[in-house]
């Protein structure tokens, strides 16, 4: 009798923890979605999503893109300096930590491939999704290419120098 | 004020908001800002039983926020063009709205996807988040993004861009 009751309580508890986990995951997704919407709007309104802007950047015809990237780095660096100095935590109470991306040959070789693709398509991964959302149907081809490229890397990874 | 928001945003305003995306995503979601891993997430979800370690060893549950994030970016792109733009936004030039243009986008997309994954990040993860966190490999990656982009624009420009 007692045992059954204890079992019931434990099932009840685990159900509660499960429900709490689902709620916190949904909350996380909602907050991520909001930041995504914010960034998508910024990408379009800054015109970083326009092929012409990227082309003119590589032609050194205008500083627009360089200034945006430079300002973005400066603001992000100041914010990270502040966050690290004050040991701030995320809204769900976890410490904020940046995990450094390591150096390997791919940083150079992959970096060059990426830059070449950026110059041709006029879009890095963020703008691809912003263009698609904005109704630029041709951007689905860029995304399809990017998926093929990702699969090519997945396939070649064991053979490529790292 | 309304005019300011409905017109293309100046570089300093855009740059500040791009930079703020980094602390915003850390604070609201505890995640490092980066977009190209979403390609790996989508690949791992489309082919969960792949023989490739890059996809079957990847933690789809942990990376689910990336899919939510890029859906947000697409939604933001739609909101910005539909409700926040006085003039229609020209994403791609007219000569990209052709069959040949589509081929360029697809091939360029392959370079974007392959290169970003081989380099371990794209403009967001390396150039903005990485450099802002003083991660030197990210600076190297960014330099080679430009090496590749400049080489294509100045070297093959006449052939690719007509």
**Sign of the four-CA dihedral B37, B39, B42, B47:** negative
In chain B, residues with a C-beta closer than 8 Å to the C-beta of A80 are 22-23, 26, 132-133
Residue tagged 């000569």 (tokens) = B95
pLDDT confidence of residue A11: 65
Span of A7-11, A23-27, B20-24, B76-80 with lowest mean pLDDT: A7-11
| Residue from the list B74, B117, B121 with its beta carbon closest to the beta carbon of A40 | B74
ipTM: 0.96
**pLDDT given for residue B70 in this prediction:** 98
Q: What is the DSSP letter of B86?
A: S
Q: Give the pLDDT band (50/70/90) at residue B154.
A: very high
pTM of the model: 0.94
Residue closest to B25 by CA, chosen among B120, B128, B113, B95: B128
In tens, the pLDDT along B79-122 reads: 999 999 999 999 999 999 999 999 999 999 999 999 999 999 99
B117 at interface of A, judged by CB pairs closer than 8 A: yes
Q: Indicate if the pLDDT at residue A3 is higher than 60.
A: no
Average pLDDT of chain B is 96
Query: Residues A120-129: pLDDT tens digits?
Result: 999 999 999 9
User: How far apart, in whole angstroms, are the C-alpha atoms of residue A105 and residue A109?
Assistant: 6
Find where tokens 């970016």 sit. B73
Identify which of A37, A98, A114 has the shortest CB distance to residue B115. Answer: A114
Closest partner residue to B114 among A74, A129, A149, by Cβ? Answer: A149
pLDDT at A1 over 80: no
Going by pLDDT thresholds of 50, 70 and 90, the confidence category of residue B162 is low
Whether residue A89 is predicted with pLDDT greater than 60 in this model: the reply is yes
């Amino acid at each position: 009798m007692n045992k059954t009751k204890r079992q019931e309580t434990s099932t009840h508890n685990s159900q509660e923890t499960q429900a709490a986990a689902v709620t916190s995951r949904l909350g996380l997704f909602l907050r991520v979605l909001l930041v995504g919407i914010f960034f998508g709007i910024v990408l379009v309104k800054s015109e970083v999503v326009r092929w012409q802007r990227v082309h003119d950047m590589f032609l050194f015809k205008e500083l627009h893109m360089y200034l945006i990237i430079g300002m973005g780095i400066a603001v992000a660096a100041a914010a990270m300096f502040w966050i690290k100095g004050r040991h701030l935590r995320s809204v769900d109470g976890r410490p904020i930590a940046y995990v450094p991306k390591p150096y390997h040959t791919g940083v150079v070789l992959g970096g060059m491939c990426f830059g070449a693709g950026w110059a041709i398509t006029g879009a890095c991964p963020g703008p691809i999704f912003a263009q698609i959302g904005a109704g630029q149907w041709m951007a689905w081809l860029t995304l399809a290419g990017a998926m093929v490229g990702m699969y090519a890397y997945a396939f070649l990874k064991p053979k490529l120098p790292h | 004020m309304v005019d300011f928001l409905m017109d293309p945003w100046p570089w300093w305003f855009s740059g500040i908001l791009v930079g703020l995306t980094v602390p915003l995503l850390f604070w609201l979601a505890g995640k490092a800002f980066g977009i190209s891993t979403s390609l790996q997430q989508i690949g791992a979800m489309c082919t969960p039983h792949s023989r490739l370690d890059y996809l079957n060893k990847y933690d789809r549950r942990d990376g689910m926020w990336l899919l939510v994030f890029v859906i947000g970016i697409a939604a933001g792109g739609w909101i910005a063009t539909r409700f926040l733009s006085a003039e229609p936004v020209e994403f791609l030039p007219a000569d990209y709205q052709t069959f040949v243009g589509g081929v360029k986008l697809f091939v360029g997309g392959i370079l974007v996807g392959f290169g970003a994954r081989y380099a371990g990040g794209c403009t967001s993860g390396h150039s903005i988040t990485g450099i802002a966190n003083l991660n030197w490999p990210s600076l190297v990656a960014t330099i080679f993004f430009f090496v590749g982009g400049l080489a294509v624009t100045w070297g093959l420009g006449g052939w690719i861009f007509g």
